[in-house]
Structure 1
Amino acid sequence: MDRVDVVQPALFAMGIGLAAVWRSLGVEPAAVVGHSQGEVVAAVVSGALSLEQGALVVAARSQAVLACAGQGGMALIERPVAEVEERLAPFGEALSVAAVNTAGSTIISGEAEAIEEIVAQLSAEGVYARKINVDYASHNAQMDPLLPGLAERFADLKPGGPEVAFYSTVTDEVVAGPELDGGYWCRNLRQPVRFDRALERLLDDGHGVFVEISAHPVLSMPLTDGSAERGGIVVGSLSRNSGGLDQLLRNLSLLHVQGHDLDTDRVLGNGDVLPLPTYAFQRDPYWIATSKPSGDLRSVGLRASEHPWLGAVTGTAADDGYLFTGRLSLAEQPWLAEHAAFGTVLVPGTGLLELALTAAHHVGAERVEELTLLEPL
């Protein structure tokens, strides 16, 4: 399974099969995008290539690449492409950018020894860099000798118009179909994969729910990173050591709980229908509203604070410091609900600064020179 001419056709078959399973469960793609050889799967799923044409492309390419096995390698570097290109410059033609996954994630390829050297350098500097488990250099000059023969083998490809929008990582465009000819698949093997640009265009066009059809979710992290700020939803299909239907259904349920409609008839079939209670469901929150306690704080060694957020002030036993305590809640400060990000209410930084200033005034200081927030409250 480690041989490129075995694993790539296997991954192709897995992708095609998983796409069919997702569709059988009622999940239909509005668009497709692929990464490197994954574009062949995307082209078949979109309808631009027939299954036979897609199988030809994958088989021919993987057999050709086998001739380069043992001569190269690839690595993932979690840094922007511009920074990676600067680090590659001293290596000359030995290394090049193979793919740009997101704004901060880049893949390189090239000579095996050079890959080992740069990964060791970056790791020693604390940069996340790791080798990818391949012994060839896709999207690199090492592929150039293969292209004439592949172009000849692909000469009879006759792609059609896709039924599902196909977002290309080669042209950065939504393809019409005919351009997915033999020349395209040679460029797909040789040029850097611009997954970042395809993802940005997908998001711009309103596609925000991503299902990765693969044996293990290798793109879910860049998909999540690249779409998080715009509310993207990302799920996989299968995962390593979890290759059964239960794992796929688990991912289907993740789609469902994040707001994606589920076709229960397709998923559950014609099973028994259980009677529901005859009364309407009560969807009220069950949290009990709490009242703010009152009493003489001096009886427990505290002093009342005049600040609306701080309930009490007490001197600390170990030194001359003070401890300010209070409680924040939407029940007592409902206006806080207006300051939220991605569904989570956050205490404004200005409010925390104001608390620090109150403490400063209590001990005779005039101002707060610096306030660093490590994470939002």
Structure 2
Amino acid sequence: MTRLQHRSVVLMFPGTGAQHARMAAGLYGHEPVFTDAVDAVLAELGAEGGAVRADWLADAPAEPMDADTRSAPLLFAVDYAMGRLVESWGVRPAAYLGHSMGEFAAAVLAGVFRLEDAVRLLWERVRMQRTTPAGGMLAVAAAERELSGYLGDGVVVGAVNAPRHTVLSGPEAPLRAVAEKLVADGRTFRRLASRTPYHSPALAPLVRDTEALIGTMRLAPPRTPLYSAYTARLLSAAEAVRPAFWAVQPTAPVLFWPTLDRVLKDDDRLLVEAGPSQSLTVPARGHEAVRSGRSAVVPALPPRALGPEADRRSVRAARELLLAVAAPLAPEGAPAGSAGPPAR
């Protein structure tokens, strides 16, 4: 454990595709900080927030988890609440790293967006997405350079998650054609749980109105360093307050692997995935810095829905490990396990 004390903590937040039924539901009503943070997000949605919560906690939800009206607010809420929970243990992250929607949650925790503005923007994007063609995303076990023959007709590389984990995104009919070609070519892939072609030009018509909306909000430079998976480097103060930077994200590819590489080259890290599915933990474990032992990765939640006790066991294990190294990370004068300042 001594070696862990020399690693700086980076909180990682997963994005679209990581959501699943009852993700982190075992913490709701059991972990007060988590519960309050989820409630704070859903309260911003008014009456719709109650319906979102009911579907999240239900064994048979009225709306499926891959519907944008459920996946977007719940994934954001769980990411944000898990970040608040981890920080309530007295852990002071050296930096944040988010994937897609996860970068948005990280930006709230870093103080770039106020929570109420972030939820408003998120919900407006959900509303606007209803005017765009249906589509989706395919996670392919191949390097980006191997997939050039599958691109076109609106299908693009939506994310680079690992050296051999590339996400293709696009409208429904062209994406189905790509899936058929992948099958014919013997490629391994799976469809992600989304009905929207995130990180593709299909969402370009939303950029102008989104930028105008963000322009009405009060943005601030990050209080804690924030790595952007759209630039593969630390977010600058100028970028953080520029509405266009955030408005184009749904149309731009997520460069998670190059960004993770930058994070792990900057320091020895203890990566903590504060979100569902372990979708960032799995590729991070394959990075040379983690395989060599210079850095480490800890998931705070199980890889899938395994019941309430599994959620609680995962959180307890993450808490025990982090509290063992929390003393040098806690704010000066604050005991390990005390809550830090609330996110703006």
TM-score for the superposition, normalised by structure 2: 0.69
Out of 9, 13, 18, which is 2:82 matched to?
Answer: 18
2:125 & 2:91 partners in 1: Cα distance? 30
Match of 2:19 in 1: none
Residues 51, 253 of structure 1: CA spacing in aligned structure 2 closer, same or farther, 3 A cutoff? same
Aligned to 1:365: none
Q: Does 1:248 align with 2:315?
A: yes
1:201 partner letter: R
Letter in 2 for 1:179: E
**Identity across aligned pairs (percent)?**
25
* Distance across 2 between alignment mates of 1:124 and 1:228: 35
Q: How well do the aligned residues superpose, as a CA RMSD in angstroms?
A: 2.6
User: SS of 1:93's equivalent?
Assistant: coil
Q: Is the 8 A contact 2:299 2:314 kept in 1?
A: no
Q: Residues 155-166 of structure 1 correspond to what in structure 2 (within 5 A)?
A: 155-166=215-226
Deviation readout 1:90-130 (Å, 9 max, x if unpaired): xx223100011122211110122332333343345443211
Q: Which residue in the other structure is 1:348 paired with?
A: none
1:107 paired with 2:167, answer yes
Q: Which has the higher contact order (CA 8 A, sep 6+)?
A: 2
Contact 2:143 2:165 in 1 (8 A): yes
Q: 1:116 aligns to what SS in structure 2?
A: helix
Cα deviation, 1:6-63, whole Å, max 9, x if unaligned, reads: 3211111111111111112222211101111111111111122222232223222222
Q: Which amino acid aligns with 1:141?
A: P
| 8 Å contact from structure 1 (residues 161, 177) kept in 2 | yes
Displacement of 1:66 in angstroms is 3.1
- The residue identity in structure 1 corresponding to 2:312 is L
Distance across 1 between alignment mates of 2:313 and 2:337: 12
Choose the corresponding residue for 1:142, options 202, 210, 213: 202
Amino acid at match of 1:31: A
Specify which of 66, 75, 95 is matched with residue 31 of structure 1.
95
Which of residues 127, 138, 146 in structure 2 aligns to 1:75? 138
Instruction: Decide whether aligned partners of structure 1 residues 230 and 46 sit closer, same or farther in structure 2, where only a CA change above 3 A counts.
Output: farther
Q: Which amino acid aligns with 1:18?
A: M
Q: Secondary structure at the match of 1:238?
A: coil
Q: Does 1:185 align with 2:252?
A: no
The answer as to 2:150 corresponding to 1:88 is yes
Between 2-11 and 28-37, the greater mean CA deviation after superposition: 2-11
Change (3 A) 1:125 1:255: farther
The residue identity in structure 2 corresponding to 1:80 is A
Question: Does residue 197 in structure 1 map to residue 264 in structure 2?
Answer: no
Distance across 1 between alignment mates of 2:316 and 2:206:
41
| 2:101 counterpart letter in structure 1 | Q
Deviation digits for residues 321-343 of structure 1 (CA, Å, limit 9, x no counterpart): xxxxxxxxxxxxxxxxxxxxxxx
* Distance in 1 of aligned mates of 2:315 and 2:120: 28
* Aligned-partner Cα distance in 2 for 1:167–1:63: 28
The residue type paired with residue 94 of structure 1 is G
* Higher share in helix: 2
8 Å contact kept, 2:96–2:226: yes
**Partner amino acid, structure 2, of 1:115:** L
User: Quick check: 238-247 or 23-32, which moved more?
Assistant: 238-247
Query: Deviation string for 1:202-223 (max 9, x for gaps)?
Result: 0111042111111332221122
SS at match of 2:187: coil
Query: Looking at CA atoms only, which structure, 1 or 2, has the larger radius of gyration?
Result: 1
Residue aligning to 1:345: none
Deviation at 1:236, TM superposition (A): 1.7
CA–CA separation in structure 2 for the residues paired with 1:142 and 1:101: 21
1:221 is paired with a residue whose SS is helix
2:142 aligned partner, one-letter code: R
Do 1:40 and 1:58's aligned partners in 2 also have CA atoms closer than 8 Å?
A: no
Aligned match of 2:192 in 132, 140, 143? 132
Flag the 1:242–1:202 CA change in 2: closer, same or farther, 3 A: farther
Identify the residue that residue 118 of structure 1 maps to in structure 2: 178
1:170 paired to 2:233: no
Give unmatched runs, 5+ long, in structure 1: 269-377
2:272 paired residue number:
211
Gaps of 5+ in 2: 1-64, 339-344
> Number of residues paired by the alignment?
263
SS in 2 for 1:33: strand
Q: Distance in 2 between matches of 1:45 and 1:54?
A: 11
Confirm or deny: 8 A CA contact 1:57 1:185 kept in the other structure.
no
